[in-house]
Amino acid sequence: MDWFETWGLTLIVFLPLAGALLLGVIPKANEDALKRTALLVTVVAFIASLVVIGQFDFTGQTYNSYQFEVNETWIAAINANYHVGIDGISLPLLVLSTFVMVLAVIYSWNHWEEPKNPKAFLILMMILATGLNGTFVALDLVLFFIFFEIVLLPMYFMIGIWGDRSIRKIPGFAREVQTRLYAAIKFFLFTLFGSAFMLLGFLALYFESGNAGGERTFDIPQLTELGASGAFTGTFAFLVFGAMFLGFAVKVPMWPLHTWLPDAHTAAPTVGSVLLAAIMLKLGSYGFIRISLPVLPQEAARWAPAIAILAVIGIIYGSLACLAQTDMKRLIAFSSVGHMGFVMLGIATLTDVGINAAVIGMVAHGLITGLLFFLAGSMSHRYHTREMSRLGGNIKLMPVMGGILAFTAMASLGLPGLAGFWGEFMSLIGSYSPLEGLSLGVFRTAMVLGAIGTVLTAGYMLYLLQQVNLGEPSEEWQGREFHDVDRFELTAWVPLIILIVVVGFYPKIIFHATTDSVVSLVETVFNSDVVASLGSGG
Amino acid sequence: MTFQIDYLALAPELVVAATMLVVFTLDLILPRAKKFWTATVAVAGTAAAAVPLIILASEGTTRSMFDGSYVVDEFAIILKGLFIVSAYIVLLMSHDYIESDRYYQGEYYFLLLASVLGSLVMSSSRDLIILFIGLELTTGPLYLLTGWRKGDVKSNEASMKYFILGVLSTAILLYGMSLLYGITGEVTFAGLAETTTGLGDEPIMVVAVFGLIAGFGFKISAVPFHLWAPDTYEGAPTPITAYLSVNSKAAGFVAMLLVMYLALPDLSDLWAPALWLLAAASMTVGNLGALRQNNVVRLLAYSSIAQAGFMLVPFAAAAVAGADLAEAFSATLIYLVIYAVMNLGAFAVVIAGARKTRSGELEAWSGLASVDTRLGVLVAVFFFSLAGIPPLAGWFAKFAMFRSVIIAGGTLTVVLAAIAAINSVIALYYYARVVKSVWLDDPIGEFAPDAEAAPAGSLRLALGVALVVTVVIGFFPTIATYVGDASRVLASGG
């Protein structure tokens, strides 16, 4: 399978797009054919990503070396290339992406939100898959930018068309608007704002790479090498890091740029929320690890305390906001702010422990929060409300659903033995001893506050369980029969449950892929020079 | 002085001129029921003009006439290609729009072709006189065409506003040119470039340059010379609005940049800050104005003001920073070509949508996609492309713009880049509003039945061409960079 070595990743990225075109020609009425095609496409993409795992060489990976590489000329005039490849850091995320996409299609099978139209919805999902998969394998800044942006359009339509139709009064708007309309445009504008500046940052790097000798380039591996050799320094690098920070931080999202998230997640249709939470948020944190850290290591060190502080504020703020929610889906949405705060705290430590924690944190958050949004969607599908005060006693009405919810909430609060534990725990360990030269005061305070955050996390997850699962069913449900979990839901959820347990008990399944790359990254990039520059008051 | 005429080099212009005359004659001969032949001949003639152009392009040699006043080089060929292709699309859009009125078909095509001829002449001009003739031949017929819907007060208003302000600006432009000639005694760009060196401190030079900027600024509807645009755009027949916002704007742009770049490079201290202000103001005022529009055509009018600002950015930035203008010129050309295609697509979609909804008001467009998905997809493609969202062609236009700014370097340029970045976010909001109406809102009014509203074959063709180009350039921007490279022949003194 030699061709797979070169074109495997391209297949994974563009197969969904081809699927979207194929879906376009299938008549709208033939719903079965549409669903089968979408399922086939996502399953093939998933299997292909498993083959990538099978052929991936896990032994002795070094930093900035990639496998399954393709490097073809794309836009010759500006030296932008179609350069894709994968390493231990991106592999788990790519597999997560193809995997969740399969589950999303399965779940969609009999869950169509108003105004239905499976054809359009599936086409959007396929385009989204291309953008997501593409971002994780892109090794060229222009290519990365394109994939990073492609996801906007389908998500805008998903939220805008299939989203929450309730009417809300939004401060600053003269008239009452439908939640979905407000959330969709807010999501779009925030992300575009960030990525416009991210693009300026990319272009500045491109420009500066020409001054460092050689042709100007958008190539991430080349820029990484230049970065490690200290080509980007001073005010220039500080501003570039800031510009890229805006782009990535909006996507993560980090406090105070997070305000689009609760609206978007709450308003999105179930599958949209799942894809947003499980995969899309990772594009931002992945951008930090893939681009910001290796290309601008000294700036990363300079910005690290600020990132750590914002991350911790995110953790605490997210948790407190959760405690104030009455809407189940909105609570889960805010919990993402907190969880991604741990991921960013891990990254800010600039240590192998911290970055490993970030990657496993991303995977775990993808599995757990994805499942939570599935559950929230299925429950509001049945009760036609998401108000937690009305959902009490759910476990008596729907034992299986309630059981899974209890399990997932436990995973989310970081119970040892389940996937959520490792990311939080290790990122706290990482911030106890961050990269030499970083302010111990800031990071140890961050660790303490983060630890308080884990307690708060437990607090709001238990609050969720107590409100939703426990107690007696409200009188309004008396005499009503509720259909417990159906087979499509089970098919979509059981794999997630299994993986949450597996990653929890055997985290090596992730670390096996990531550790070598991460350790080598930290050792090469955050070397004594960077530490020295910090010491000299940088 | 030799007056050797190179007929192959002039062939595209000659074909268009001949078509004009044929259309005019046919209009006299044909009975009213057969007038549609004038449209067919106009479309065929425009397509035929592309043939000699392709021959010229494949030869790749630079042909120069009249002592270098009229030059057919790679740059001119690319521009003529742009003008011919966009005129072709506008003609396709006009076909049944004009036929439904049944009046003055022949004159319509005659005038439109005259305007196209003007823009072809302008692309080759390398002195002030030919440039002026070309530019005015482009604009003149449009004064009539904007008032084509005689029964409609708005159309009359459009024509009147455009005419009065247009004539005023032409006078100012000509005054600027006459001052230049008076001081230097030169009309060729090459001659002006030599003789204006070091004249930047002369007060009379300042007046001349500002006269030029005001004149060109009107043609490209840059703020503060934009006041005619919204009303004229709304009142004119929609194909003419498309033509105004693409061909006539592009012609004004190219004329301005040719003069600044080839004739007055040493006076950049005078015009660079002015262009910088024009760019920043056009982006900001155009975008903020567009936010408040409820009529699709008016929205596109303000959007085209803002887009003119974006197009000015590379040149203004490079000139202010004293960087390589060739790089900026190529970014502007790339932007112009991509903008032409997607904007024509947007207008074509507006024509189709207006038939379906019987209105140009955004509110009436609510839920259009639920009755006509294909039209909905087209709206999304063209409007998001204008907003610069990948993978549609617009992203590369914005990208090329930002790239040339960053390459120019310097504080003022970075400020301009930041203004452009913020403006592209604002722009998204109103482009997305159109898409929102079409896709996300529930239908409010009644839609015209398919039998009445189905777009004619020619309009479908126009939409198809624009759609394919918009998507293909989005994935393979290399095609557009070739266009940008053509501007480099200017830098090499071609």
Whether the Cβ atoms of residue A493 and residue A278 lie closer than 8 Å to each other: no
Which pLDDT tens digit goes with each residue over A16-64? 999 999 988 888 888 888 889 999 999 999 999 999 888 888 887 777 7
In chain A, residues with a C-beta closer than 8 Å to the C-beta of B421 are 196-197, 199-200
Contact criterion met (CB < 8 Å) for A188 and B432: yes
C-alpha distance from B128 to closest chain A C-alpha (Å): 33
Whether the Cβ atoms of residue A373 and residue A509 lie closer than 8 Å to each other: no
Distances A134 to A24, A29, A465, B198 between C-alpha atoms, Å: 21, 31, 37, 54
Asked if the model's pLDDT at residue A537 lies above 80, the reply is: no
- State the helix-helix crossing angle for A297-323 and A440-468, rounded to 10 degrees: 30
Interface size A-B, in CB pairs within 8 Å, comes to 80
Which pLDDT tens digit goes with each residue over A184-204? 888 988 998 888 889 889 988
Does the CA dihedral B344-B345-B348-B349 come out positive or negative? negative
Task: State the greatest distance between any 2 C-alpha atoms of chain B, in Å, as a whole number.
Answer: 69
Looking at the partner chain, which of A75, A153, A197 has a beta carbon nearest the beta carbon of B384? A153
Which two structure tokens, joined as six digits, stand for B276?
Answer: 């910088």
| DSSP per residue, A282-294 | HHHHHHIIIIIHH
Q: Does A339 touch chain B (CB under 8 A)?
A: no
In chain A, residues with a C-beta closer than 8 Å to the C-beta of B291 are none
Start-to-end CA distance of chain B, whole Å, equals 20
Looking at the partner chain, which of B406, B441, B482 has a beta carbon nearest the beta carbon of A204? B406
Alpha helix ranges (H) inside A413-483: 420-432, 440-468
Q: Does A264 touch chain B (CB under 8 A)?
A: no
C-alpha distance from B407 to closest chain A C-alpha (Å): 6
A258 by Cβ neighbours in 10 Å (0-12 / 13-18 / 19+) ranks as buried
Residue A46 contacts by C-beta under 8 Å, 6 or more apart in sequence? A95, A98, A99, A101, A102
In chain B, residues with a C-beta closer than 8 Å to the C-beta of A145 are 390
C-alpha distance from A78 to closest chain B C-alpha (Å): 9
- Cα gap A93→A97, rounded to integer Å: 6
Q: Does A206 touch chain B (CB under 8 A)?
A: yes
Q: Minimal CA–CA distance to A206: which of B137, B228, B407?
A: B407
Contact criterion met (CB < 8 Å) for B395 and A149: yes
Cis peptide, bond prior to residue A118, ω within 30 of zero:
no
Whether the Cβ atoms of residue B204 and residue B52 lie closer than 8 Å to each other: no
Distances B51 to B11, B46, B457 between C-alpha atoms, Å: 9, 10, 23
Residue A324 contacts by C-beta under 8 Å, 6 or more apart in sequence? none
In chain B, residues with a C-beta closer than 8 Å to the C-beta of A196 are 421-422, 424-425
Give the pLDDT mean for A378-405.
85
Quote the Cα angle for B245-B249-B250, to 5°. Answer: 115
Looking at the partner chain, which of A160, A193, A204 has a beta carbon nearest the beta carbon of B425? A193
Q: Minimal CA–CA distance to B116: which of B50, B40, B36, B215?
A: B50
Distances B131 to B192, B245, B426 between C-alpha atoms, Å: 14, 20, 36
Q: Does A22 touch chain B (CB under 8 A)?
A: no
- Residue B492's pLDDT is 55
ipTM computed for the complex? 0.86
- Cα gap B382→B341, rounded to integer Å: 9
Residue B278 contacts by C-beta under 8 Å, 6 or more apart in sequence? B213, B217, B222, B223, B309, B312, B316
Query: Chain-wide mean pLDDT for chain A?
Result: 87
- Residue B458's pLDDT is 83
DSSP classification of residue A174: S
- For residue A368, what pLDDT band results from cuts at 50, 70 and 90? very high
- For residue A535, what pLDDT band results from cuts at 50, 70 and 90? low
Looking at the partner chain, which of A77, A146, A207 has a beta carbon nearest the beta carbon of B391? A146
Looking at the partner chain, which of B370, B429, B440 has a beta carbon nearest the beta carbon of A160? B440
Query: Worst-scoring range by mean pLDDT, A346-355, A388-397, B149-158?
Result: A388-397
Contact criterion met (CB < 8 Å) for A185 and B429: yes
Residues 344-403 of B with CB under 8 A from A: 370, 373, 380, 384, 389-391, 395, 399, 402-403
Element (H, E) at A68: strand A67-75
Cis peptide, bond prior to residue A253, ω within 30 of zero:
yes
* Closest chain A residue by Cα to residue B395: A146
Q: β-strands B70-72, B63-65: how paired?
A: antiparallel
Q: Does A193 touch chain B (CB under 8 A)?
A: yes
Q: Does B313 touch chain A (CB under 8 A)?
A: no
- Cα gap B372→B430, rounded to integer Å: 22
Q: Does A43 touch chain B (CB under 8 A)?
A: no
Q: Minimal CA–CA distance to A136: which of A127, A148, A149?
A: A148
Which two structure tokens, joined as six digits, stand for A17?
Answer: 């797009």
Which two structure tokens, joined as six digits, stand for A60?
Answer: 């002795």
- Cα gap B142→B233, rounded to integer Å: 12
- Residue B494's pLDDT is 40
Whether the Cβ atoms of residue B390 and residue A145 lie closer than 8 Å to each other: yes
Give the pLDDT mean for B380-401.
90
Asked if the model's pLDDT at residue A170 lies above 80, the reply is: no
- For residue B3, what pLDDT band results from cuts at 50, 70 and 90? low
- Cα gap B159→B146, rounded to integer Å: 5
- Residue B137's pLDDT is 93
Which two structure tokens, joined as six digits, stand for B86?
Answer: 């966009």
Asked if the model's pLDDT at residue B131 lies above 90, the reply is: yes
Q: Is this model's pTM higher than 0.80 or not? A: yes
Give the pLDDT mean for B343-362.
87
Whether the Cβ atoms of residue A332 and residue A377 lie closer than 8 Å to each other: no
Task: Measure CA B217 to chain center.
Answer: 13
Whether the Cβ atoms of residue A266 and residue A183 lie closer than 8 Å to each other: yes
Looking at the partner chain, which of A74, A161, A193 has a beta carbon nearest the beta carbon of B439? A161
Q: Does A468 touch chain B (CB under 8 A)?
A: no
Q: Minimal CA–CA distance to B242: which of B356, B109, B346?
A: B346
Q: Does A174 touch chain B (CB under 8 A)?
A: no
**Beta bridge partners of residue A80, listed in sequence order:** A75
- Cα gap A239→A219, rounded to integer Å: 20
Which pLDDT tens digit goes with each residue over A466-500? 888 887 887 777 777 778 888 888 888 999 999 99
Asked if the model's pLDDT at residue B148 lies above 90, the reply is: no
* Closest chain B residue by Cα to residue A203: B403
Q: Which amino acid is at A351?
A: T
- Cα gap A446→A441, rounded to integer Å: 8
In chain A, residues with a C-beta closer than 8 Å to the C-beta of B329 are none
Residue, of B87 and B410, whose pLDDT is higher: B87
Q: Does A177 touch chain B (CB under 8 A)?
A: no
Which pLDDT tens digit goes with each residue over B291-324? 888 899 999 999 999 999 999 999 888 888 887 7
DSSP classification of residue B365: G
Distances B374 to A69, A120, B40, B80 between C-alpha atoms, Å: 38, 12, 27, 32
Question: E strands, A87-187, where?
Answer: 167-168, 177-178
| DSSP per residue, B412-447 | HHHHHHHHHHHHHHHHHHHHHHHHIIIIISPP-SPP
Q: Does A74 touch chain B (CB under 8 A)?
A: yes
- Cα gap B321→B302, rounded to integer Å: 28
In chain B, residues with a C-beta closer than 8 Å to the C-beta of A161 are 439-440
Q: β-strands A80-86, A167-168: how paired?
A: unpaired
Q: Does B472 touch chain A (CB under 8 A)?
A: no
Which two structure tokens, joined as six digits, stand for A210?
Answer: 């020409």
- Cα gap A316→A308, rounded to integer Å: 12
- Residue B431's pLDDT is 92
Residue B311 contacts by C-beta under 8 Å, 6 or more apart in sequence? B220, B253, B332, B335, B336, B339, B401
Element counts in chain B: helices (H) and strands (E): 22, 2
Residue, of B98 and A246, whose pLDDT is higher: A246
Looking at the partner chain, which of B421, B436, B485 has a beta carbon nearest the beta carbon of A197? B421
- For residue A135, what pLDDT band results from cuts at 50, 70 and 90? very high
**Testing the interface with A: which of B329, B381, B407, B425 to mutate, by most A Cβ within 10 A?**
B425
**Testing the interface with A: which of B406, B442, B482, B487 to mutate, by most A Cβ within 10 A?**
B406
Residue in the structure block whose two tokens are 């087209």: B378
Task: State the greatest distance between any 2 C-alpha atoms of chain A, in Å, as a whole number.
Answer: 77
Whether the Cβ atoms of residue B294 and residue B361 lie closer than 8 Å to each other: yes
Residue B320 phi, psi dihedral angles, 5° rounding: -65, -40
Asked if the model's pLDDT at residue B1 lies above 70, the reply is: no
Q: Minimal CA–CA distance to B169: which of B270, B277, B233, B248?
A: B248
- Cα gap A165→A386, rounded to integer Å: 14
Looking at the partner chain, which of B407, B422, B440 has a beta carbon nearest the beta carbon of A207? B407
Contact criterion met (CB < 8 Å) for A149 and B407: no
Which pLDDT tens digit goes with each residue over A303-361? 889 999 999 999 999 999 998 888 889 999 999 999 999 999 999 998 888 999 999 99
Looking at the partner chain, which of A185, A197, A199 has a beta carbon nearest the beta carbon of B432? A185
Quote the Cα angle for A5-A7-A9, to 5°. Answer: 90
Task: Measure CA A529 to chain center.
Answer: 32
DSSP classification of residue A438: S
C-alpha distance from B18 to closest chain A C-alpha (Å): 39
Asked if the model's pLDDT at residue A287 lies above 60, the reply is: yes
C-alpha distance from A42 to closest chain B C-alpha (Å): 21
Element (H, E) at B403: helix B394-408
Which two structure tokens, joined as six digits, stand for A232?
Answer: 């980007």
Contact criterion met (CB < 8 Å) for B429 and A161: no
Give the pLDDT mean for A247-257.
89
Which two structure tokens, joined as six digits, stand for A101?
Answer: 């996409």
- Cα gap A310→A333, rounded to integer Å: 18
Asked if the model's pLDDT at residue B489 lies above 70, the reply is: no
- Cα gap B272→B261, rounded to integer Å: 11
